[in-house]
């Protein structure tokens, strides 16, 4: 059914364009997008081009018998749904000025502790080009429960207009159906210290950093989003500082008893690409990742894919010891950058030839990750495993009898290896830190650069056209 709705989305879009000329149709300049989704809540954000008080109709099992109304009548709206059921599929649509959007579906976060989580992640995509749309559509096709944005979400300067044209327009179907959680990149910080990023996204918060850095649990995975631009001193000191962020991170990781921990931010502590490893992020944060058992660190900034060995300090960690694996997943849409150095010894797999994303499934004590191209080619595949204590009795019985073992035992890693041929002759760790927003970071904006095409304003669909949309869906079956 998920795919049917995706197909219907395209069919309805054509009808929406037709209705844009109608004087009576309200104009939805930004399709609804899912924010702050948890086990019992979801925020539906959207933008209108006129003054109207929209409402969300929603429900389970295909119905839309419940409703929630926006608190104001301006252009930007964030309608909070509460009292939702965990791990449940909801259908929703937006009504405004007598018109309505096509219904789409999403699922709430599962009951905390549920040992089955599926997410995707990618960075460096905010281009409004064909590569970005291909990656986004491929992620939607995987039906993840949530999507992590790894920064540089709206090139080239993270302006208000660029968020609209380079994030919300090309990724509208994904953002309407998959809850997203973001980290800011250096390009967001070019404009007013990322103020448009904070204005347009509705993120979880932390006591000391607000939306700059935060954490949340999804099932049995603890996710942490860091603001690496803040760590490099680019944020207003009153709002975000390196010291406060580190203090919060240590408290946050120490207090989490989730068996899996995933951290995501923009600047990579380990990368052999053009920008290279970011020394401050490695020096200040990786000791905390090691101390508190972070499993995966997901980053972008360099426009390639790369997976490290489990790292400790400035070197590969001792075998048999549990240490974080670092990934660069920067192939979301911006121009790829060829490696200019031989593959370092700490790199397991790297790829500078394919745009793509990361798809991760965490089931019980097994984390299976794949780096995939939009066409489904496997760039990389690896598995992390660890022994978990038995699940609490109130959870559904697992299919296999759990085994009680030492929870401090290190995970094992299976590494089937790349489908791309590895580069020869490992060399030393190379690269220099890139500076946010500096001239040495000239991402190629390509033929569909911001400002070239912001896409037409999309009108809300009059209720009568839903009959047409339904007929189109039935014909497609
Ligand atoms: Fe970047």
- Residue 461 has what pLDDT? 39
The CA 303 to ligand 1 mean position distance, Å, reads 8
Structure confidence at residue 306 (pLDDT): 98
Whole-number pLDDT of residue 419 = 38
Distance 126 CA to ligand 1 centre (A): 11
The set of residues, in sequence order, having a beta carbon less than 8 Å from that of 242 and lying 6+ positions away, is: 230, 231, 232, 233, 284
* pLDDT digit string, tens, across residues 177-191: 999 999 999 999 999
Cα 185 to ligand 1 centroid, rounded to whole Å:
5
> What's the pLDDT tens digit per position in 290-312?
999 999 999 999 999 999 999 99
Ligand 1 midpoint to CA 272 (Å): 14
For ligand 1, the distance from its centroid to the CA atom of residue 150, given in whole angstroms, is 9
Cα–Cα distance, 286 to 345 (Å, whole number): 19
Do the Cβ atoms of 463 and 20 come closer than 8 Å?
no
30 Cα: distance to centroid of ligand 1 (angstroms): 25
Lowest mean pLDDT: which of 50-64, 85-99, 160-174, 395-409? 395-409
Q: 352: Cβ–Cβ under 8 A, 6 or more apart, which residues?
A: 273, 303, 304, 305, 336, 337, 338, 339
- Residue 301 Cα, ligand 1 centroid: separation in angstroms? 4
Distance between Cα 363 and ligand 1 center (Å): 31
Q: How far is the CA of 170 from the centre of ligand 1 (A)?
A: 19
Distance from residue 332's CA to the centre of ligand 1 (Å): 12
Q: Which residues pair with 105 in a beta bridge?
A: 91
For 125-186, give the DSSP string.
Answer: -TT-SHHHHHHHHHHHHT--SEEEE-S--STTT--HHHHIIIIITTTHHHHHHS-EEE---T
Ligand 1 centre distance from Cα of residue 281 (Å): 14
Burial 44-69 (b: 16+ CB within 10 A, else e): bbbbbeeebebbbbbeeeeebeeebe
Within 10 angstroms of residue 39's Cβ, the number of other Cβ atoms is 18
Ligand 1: centre distance to CA 36 (Å)? 24
- pLDDT of residue 400 exceeding 90: no
pLDDT, residue 470, reads: 34
Separation of CA 266 and ligand 1 centre (Å): 7
Confidence bin at 87 (pLDDT 50/70/90): very high
Task: Compute, in angstroms, the gap from residue 158 CA to the centroid of ligand 1.
Answer: 11
Residues 6+ apart with CB under 8 A from 371: 305, 307, 329, 349, 351, 356, 357, 358, 359, 378, 379, 380, 381
For 44-80, what is each residue's pLDDT tens digit?
Answer: 999 998 888 999 999 999 999 999 999 988 899 999 9
What is the Å distance from ligand 1's center to 32 Cα?
27
pLDDT of residue 465: 35
Rounded alpha-carbon distances, angstroms, from residue 411 to 254, 383, 408: 19, 10, 9
What distance in angstroms lies between residue 442's CA and the mean position of ligand 1's atoms?
Answer: 10
Helix axes 2-19, 465-476, angle to 10 degrees: 140
Separation of alpha carbons 167 and 185, rounded Å = 13
- Among residues 340, 145, 361, 180, the alpha carbon closest in space to that of 264 is found at 180
pLDDT digits (tens, 9 = 90+) for 345-382: 999 999 999 999 999 999 999 999 999 999 999 999 99
The region that residue 240 occupies, defined by phi over 0 for left and psi between -120 and 50 for alpha, beta otherwise, is beta
For residue 26, what pLDDT is reported?
Answer: 54
Confidence of residue 96 (pLDDT cuts 50, 70, 90): confident
In percent, the amount of the chain with pLDDT more than 70 equals: 77
Residue ranges near ligand 1 (ion) with Cβ within 5 Å: 152, 185-186, 301
pLDDT, averaged across the chain: 83
How far from 192 is each of 154, 158, 198, 199, 286, CA to CA, in Å? Answer: 14, 9, 10, 11, 29
- Give the end-to-end CA distance of the chain in Å, rounded to a whole number: 10
Ligand 1 centroid to residue 153 C-alpha, Å: 9
pLDDT at 192 over 50: yes
Say what the pLDDT of residue 398 is. Answer: 57
Global pTM reads: 0.80
Q: Assign residue 449 a region (left: φ > 0; alpha: ψ between -120 and 50; beta: otherwise).
A: beta
Percent of the chain with pLDDT over 90: 73
Q: In which band, very low, low, confident or very high, does the pLDDT at 99 lie, cut at 50, 70 and 90?
A: confident
DSSP conformation class of 192: G
User: Are 195 and 211 a contacting pair, CB within 8 Å?
Assistant: no
Q: Do 152 and 125 contact (CB within 8 A), yes or no?
A: yes
Cα 187 to middle of ligand 1, angstroms: 6
Pairing, β 357-363 against β 104-107? unpaired
For residue 155, how far is its CA from the centre of ligand 1 (angstroms)? 9
Domains and CATH numbers, the chain: 2-108+460-476 (2.60.40.10), 116-414 (3.60.21.10)
List the single range of 57-66, 147-156, 194-203, 427-436 with lowest mean pLDDT: 427-436
Residue 302 CA, ligand 1 centroid: distance in Å: 7
Q: For residue 334, report the distance from its CA to the centre of ligand 1, in Å.
A: 10
- Are residues 282 and 299 in contact, defined by beta-carbon separation less than 8 angstroms? no
Condensed to tens digits (0 to 9), the pLDDT of residues 242-272 reads 999 999 999 999 999 999 999 999 999 999 9
299 Cα: distance to centroid of ligand 1 (angstroms): 10
């Amino acid at each position: 059914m998920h795919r049917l709705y995706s197909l219907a989305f395209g069919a309805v879009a054509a009808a929406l364009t037709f209705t844009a000329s109608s004087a009576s149709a309200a104009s939805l300049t930004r399709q609804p997008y899912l924010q702050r989704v948890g086990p019992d809540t979801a925020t539906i954000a959207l933008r209108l081009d006129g003054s109207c008080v929209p409402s969300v109709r929603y429900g389970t099992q295909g119905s839309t018998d419940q409703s929630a109304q926006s608190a104001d009548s301006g252009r930007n709206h964030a309608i909070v749904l509460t009292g939702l059921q965990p791990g449940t599929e909801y259908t929703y649509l937006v009504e405004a000025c007598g018109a309505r959007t096509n219904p789409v579906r999403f699922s709430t976060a599962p009951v905390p502790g549920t040992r089955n989580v599926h997410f995707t992640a990618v960075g460096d995509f905010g281009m409004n080009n064909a590569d970005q749309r291909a990656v986004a559509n491929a992620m939607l096709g995987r039906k993840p429960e949530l999507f992590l944005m790894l920064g540089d979400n709206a090139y080239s300067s993270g302006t208000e207009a660029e968020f609209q044209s380079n994030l919300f327009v090309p990724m509208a179907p994904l953002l309407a159906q998959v809850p997203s959680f973001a980290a800011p990149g250096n390009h967001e910080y070019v404009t007013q210290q990322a103020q448009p990023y904070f204005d347009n996204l509705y993120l979880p918060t932390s006591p000391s950093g607000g939306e700059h850095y935060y954490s949340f649990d999804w099932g049995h995975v603890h996710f942490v989003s860091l603001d690496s631009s803040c760590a490099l001193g680019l944020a207003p000191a009153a709002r975000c500082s390196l010291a406060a962020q580190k203090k919060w991170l240590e408290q946050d990781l120490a207090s989490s008893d989730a068996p899996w921990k995933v951290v995501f931010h923009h600047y990579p502590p380990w990368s052999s690409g053009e920008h290279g490893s970011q020394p401050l992020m490695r020096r200040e944060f990786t000791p905390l990742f090691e101390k508190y058992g972070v499993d995966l660190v997901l980053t972008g900034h360099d426009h390639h894919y790369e997976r490290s060995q489990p790292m400790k300090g400035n070197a590969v960690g001792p075998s048999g010891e549990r240490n974080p694996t670092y990934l660069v997943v920067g192939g979301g849409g911006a121009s790829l950058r060829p490696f200019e150095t031989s593959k370092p010894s700490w790199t397991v797999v790297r790829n500078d030839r394919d745009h793509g994303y990361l798809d991760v499934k965490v089931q019980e004590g097994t984390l299976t990750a794949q780096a995939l191209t939009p066409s489904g080619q496997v760039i990389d595949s690896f598995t992390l495993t660890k022994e978990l204590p038995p699940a609490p009795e109130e959870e559904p019985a697992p299919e296999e009898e759990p085994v009680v073992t030492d929870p401090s035992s290190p995970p094992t890693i299976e590494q089937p290896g790349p489908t791309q041929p590895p580069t020869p002759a490992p060399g030393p760790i190379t690269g220099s830190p890139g500076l946010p927003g500096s001239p040495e970071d000239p991402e190629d904006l390509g033929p569909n650069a911001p400002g070239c095409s912001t896409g037409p304003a999309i009108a809300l669909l009059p209720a009568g056209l839903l009959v047409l949309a339904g007929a189109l869906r039935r014909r497609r079956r």
